[in-house]
């Protein structure tokens, strides 16, 4: 994916695409550019003070009005300092404000995207869109812009001054400019390629470290330290080699540029010297020219580097706008939003009570990134309070049905009815507010236990929270932590074990008092005794609720009203436990194999 990103060319560097985010700051931007012009313009004028000092005071051998001269110089300086402060501060503000807006825009847009987006793009990639692409674009609209303004106005001002003072001598310096521009343009592309290469190796080294640290235990148990170190050495050697090459190249390049300045200086000294000797030009003027000759090369280099940066930023603009243009494939219609509100502004007063009847009617489904129908003309009626179990082997595709019920995906054809009406007729938020969800790999947010448990019900009281914890036998987690409900769970719940996280996420789901409950292999890493306790809790809480349970261990779902057996993404059997056992099919195999050995032993034992 990144490979294709490299050489993106957008019209006008992609700037039109980000205009909507900039226009808000139009006034400040114009102000900052205007002030920037003044700052550099004044910078270009300073050599003229020197010229005056040489030609007037020294040339005429007088100290008359030296005091006024100093005052004027100082006055200009003070003006420049003030103007400079505002132009840089505004530029900084601009950068930060635009970053801020872009981060908000991308984050908020992501909240509306459907699951297929998250399935197709990994977290690291999406995270970089919010945190890093936005920053690059902010720099573009502030510092890169100002770099062009500052350096551009310096060059223009210097050229005007030179041409005004002495056209012929000015032309000698100007003659060198195209050569400099040509040289820089020739060097630049390879330099950019080097830097890209270095960045790539650098991120490889970072992920090597990541592997060495996260994988340290596995590396130890396998005793493959030397192998891993050998690979690491390959990357660091590569880094050293490439960096040195890149610097050799850029050092050569910058030495050439400094040489160009010196050549300009030499030219001015030669031609200007002749003019001065012939008394056509004064020494002060010669000194001004020498000053410009030396100082013109750097701004040119800066401008060209800025343009190179602009070319690089197109990738970021492209990625950002691509994200913003991605539309959710699960979207509420206009009418629905009008009545029920959108994700951020729900109109709860119009929300109907959710009863809990779910029905799949002639549903066919194919994952947006998949190439096969995983459901075909599927029908399933789940009246309120029904318990549906979904079983199958690891990776068999057990989550599909749940994804559809939760409207994380829309059916390719057919419809899903909630309380007898097509799910699309109500808002996603309405549905989600009525669903409790416990994941296979439990996810907690950094914050306190209370924050986490309240996630599904922000106004839950401590009594309610305690009740939920008791229901899932998780009060021991509180006793373990020193601050009770106020205990911090760490980033992503790091301070708790997987089993504890699972219990808490279970309590969280129950606390929200959902009409529909989804348990995704919720009991996978809890020991038997705790599991039994949770099983009891499940039996209690699914009373009166429509529930979908995805389970590994079949013992937990024998009482389900209907069991769906999934294999290779498709539903191959369905029925109650008894029906399925009688069928002697896949389910029967799964179930008996799990318990056969045990029964033999029990019987043998009892005998």
Interaction residues for another protein, span 395-414 (CB under 8 A): 395, 406, 408
- Rounded to whole angstroms, how far apart are CA atoms 129 and 111? 14
Listing from the earlier edge strand, what are the strands of the sheet with 373-382? 373-382, 358-366, 413-418, 421-422
Q: How far is the CB of 585 from another protein (least distance, A)?
A: 14
Q: Is residue 540 near another protein by the rule CB under 8 A?
A: no
Q: C-alpha distances in angstroms, 503 versus 75, 230, 474, 483?
A: 71, 43, 6, 18
- Rounded to whole angstroms, how far apart are CA atoms 542 and 384? 11
Q: Of 85-114, which residues contact another protein (CB under 8 A)? A: 85-86, 88-89, 92-93, 95-97, 99-100, 103-104, 107-108, 110-112
Looking at 53, 156, 174, 478, which residue binds another protein (CB under 8 A)?
53
Looking at 554, 563, 564, 565, which residue binds another protein (CB under 8 A)?
554
Are 117 and 326 contacting, i.e. CB atoms less than 8 angstroms apart?
A: yes
Q: Of 494-523, which residues contact another protein (CB under 8 A)? A: 497, 499, 505, 512, 518
Q: Of 144-203, which residues contact another protein (CB under 8 A)? A: none
Residues ≥6 apart with Cβ < 8 Å to 362: 377, 378, 379, 413, 414, 415
Q: C-alpha distances in angstroms, 506 versus 70, 92, 358?
A: 77, 46, 22
DSSP run (H or E) holding 361: strand 358-366
Neighbours of 267 (CB within 10 A): 17
Residues ≥6 apart with Cβ < 8 Å to 437: 406, 509, 517, 518, 520
Q: Is residue 350 near another protein by the rule CB under 8 A?
A: no
Looking at 329, 338, 491, 539, which residue binds another protein (CB under 8 A)?
491
Q: Which stretch binds another protein (CB under 8 A): 10-18, 169-177, 181-189, 279-287?
A: 279-287
Q: How far is the CB of 15 from another protein (least distance, A)?
A: 22
Q: Which is nearer to another protein, 14 or 493 (CB)?
A: 493
Q: Which is nearer to another protein, 288 or 304 (CB)?
A: 288
The size of the interface with another protein (CB under 8 A), counted in residues, is: 164
- Rounded to whole angstroms, how far apart are CA atoms 584 and 473? 36
Q: Is residue 34 near another protein by the rule CB under 8 A?
A: no
Looking at 11, 213, 353, 482, which residue binds another protein (CB under 8 A)?
213
Q: Is residue 326 near another protein by the rule CB under 8 A?
A: no
Q: Is residue 394 near another protein by the rule CB under 8 A?
A: yes
Looking at 368, 558, 567, 574, which residue binds another protein (CB under 8 A)?
558
Q: DSSP labels for 473-525?
A: T-HHHHHHSTTGGG-B--GGGTTS-HHHHHHHHHHHHHHT--SEEEEESTTTT
Are 562 and 574 contacting, i.e. CB atoms less than 8 angstroms apart?
A: yes
Q: Give the residue from 580, 452, 576 showing the smallest Cα distance to 509.
A: 452
Alpha-helical regions (H) of 326-348: 334-340
Q: Is residue 248 near another protein by the rule CB under 8 A?
A: yes
Looking at 8, 159, 192, 239, which residue binds another protein (CB under 8 A)?
239
Q: Is residue 479 near another protein by the rule CB under 8 A?
A: no
Q: Which stretch binds another protein (CB under 8 A): 73-81, 163-171, 303-311, 459-467?
A: 73-81
Are 464 and 438 contacting, i.e. CB atoms less than 8 angstroms apart?
A: no
Binding letters toward another protein, positions 573-592, x by CB under 8 A: ----xx--xx------xxxx
Looking at 30, 193, 227, 280, which residue binds another protein (CB under 8 A)?
227
Q: Is residue 126 near another protein by the rule CB under 8 A?
A: yes
- Packing angle between helix 297-325 and helix 15-22, nearest 10 degrees? 80
- Packing angle between helix 498-511 and helix 528-541, nearest 10 degrees? 10
Q: Is residue 368 near another protein by the rule CB under 8 A?
A: no
Q: Is residue 536 near another protein by the rule CB under 8 A?
A: no
Q: Is residue 13 near another protein by the rule CB under 8 A?
A: no
Q: Which stretch binds another protein (CB under 8 A): 30-38, 222-230, 298-306, 459-467?
A: 222-230
Q: Give the residue from 319, 279, 407, 374 showing the smallest Cα distance to 136.
A: 319
Q: Of 256-275, which residues contact another protein (CB under 8 A)? A: 256, 258-259, 262-263, 265-267, 269-270, 273-274
Backbone angles phi, psi at 396, to 5 degrees: -80, -10
Q: How far is the CB of 88 from another protein (least distance, A)?
A: 4
Q: How far is the CB of 201 from another protein (least distance, A)?
A: 11
Residues ≥6 apart with Cβ < 8 Å to 496: 444, 477, 489, 490, 504
């Amino acid at each position: 994916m990144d490979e294709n990103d490299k050489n993106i060319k957008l019209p006008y560097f992609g700037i039109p695409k980000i205009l909507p985010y900039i226009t808000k700051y139009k006034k400040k931007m114009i102000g900052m550019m205007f002030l920037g012009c003044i700052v550099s313009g004044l910078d270009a004028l300073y050599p003229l003070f020197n010229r005056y000092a040489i030609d007037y005071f020294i040339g005429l051998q007088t100290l008359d009005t030296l005091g006024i001269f100093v005052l004027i110089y100082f006055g200009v300086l003070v003006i420049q300092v003030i103007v400079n402060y505002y132009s840089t501060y505004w530029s900084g503000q601009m950068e930060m404000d635009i970053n801020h807006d872009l981060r908000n825009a991308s984050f908020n847009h992501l909240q509306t995207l459907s699951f297929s987006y998250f399935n197709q793009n990994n977290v690291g990639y999406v995270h970089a869109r919010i945190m890093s692409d936005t920053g690059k674009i902010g720099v573009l609209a502030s510092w890169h812009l100002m770099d062009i303004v500052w350096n551009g106005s310096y060059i223009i001002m210097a050229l005007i001054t030179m041409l005004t003072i002495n056209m012929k001598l000015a032309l000698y310096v100007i003659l060198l400019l195209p050569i400099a521009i040509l040289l820089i343009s020739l060097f630049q592309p390879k330099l950019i390629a080097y830097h890209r290469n270095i960045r790539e190796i650098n991120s490889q080294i970072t992920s090597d470290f990541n592997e060495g640290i996260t994988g340290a235990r596995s590396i130890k148990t396998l005793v493959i330290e030397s192998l891993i170190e050998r690979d690491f050495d390959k990357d660091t050697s590569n880094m050293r080699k490439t960096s040195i090459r890149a610097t050799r190249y850029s050092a050569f390049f910058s030495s050439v540029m400094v040489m160009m300045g010196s050549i300009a200086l030499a030219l001015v000294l030669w031609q200007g010297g002749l003019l001065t000797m012939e008394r056509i030009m004064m020494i002060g003027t010669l000194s001004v020219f020498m000053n410009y000759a030396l100082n013109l090369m750097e701004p040119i280099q800066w401008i060209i580097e800025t343009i190179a940066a602009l070319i690089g930023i197109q990738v970021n603009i492209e990625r950002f706008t691509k994200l913003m243009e991605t539309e959710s494939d699960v979207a509420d219609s206009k009418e629905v939003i009008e009545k029920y509100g959108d994700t951020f502004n729900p109109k709860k007063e119009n929300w109907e009570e959710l009863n809990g009847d779910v029905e799949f009617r002639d549903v066919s489904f194919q994952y947006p990134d998949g190439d096969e129908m995983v459901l075909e003309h599927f029908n399933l009626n789940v009246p309120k309070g029904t318990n549906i179990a979904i079983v199958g082997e690891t990776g068999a595709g057990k989550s599909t049905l749940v994804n559809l019920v939760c409207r994380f995906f829309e059916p390719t054809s057919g419809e899903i009815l909630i309380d007898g009406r097509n799910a699309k007729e109500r808002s996603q938020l309405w549905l989600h507010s009525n669903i409790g969800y416990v994941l296979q790999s439990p996810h907690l947010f950094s914050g306190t236990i209370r924050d986490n448990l309240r996630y599904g019900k922000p106004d839950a009281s401590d009594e309610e929270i305690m009740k939920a914890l008791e229901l899932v036998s998780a009060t021991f987690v509180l006793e373990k932590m020193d601050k009770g409900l106020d205990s911090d769970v760490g980033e992503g719940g790091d301070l708790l074990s997987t089993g504890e996280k699972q219990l808490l996420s279970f309590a969280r789901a129950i606390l929200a008092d959902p009409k529909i409950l989804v348990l995704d292999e919720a009991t996978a890493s809890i020991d038997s005794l705790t599991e039994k306790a949770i099983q009891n809790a499940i039996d209690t809480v699914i009373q009166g609720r429509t529930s979908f349970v995805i389970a590994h261990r079949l013992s937990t779902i024998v009482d389900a009203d209907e069991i769906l057996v999934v294999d290779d993404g498709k539903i191959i059997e369905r029925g109650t436990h008894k029906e399925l056992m009688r069928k002697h099919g896949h389910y029967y195999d799964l179930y008996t194999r799990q318990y056969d050995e045990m029964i033999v032993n029990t019987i043998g034992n009892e005998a």
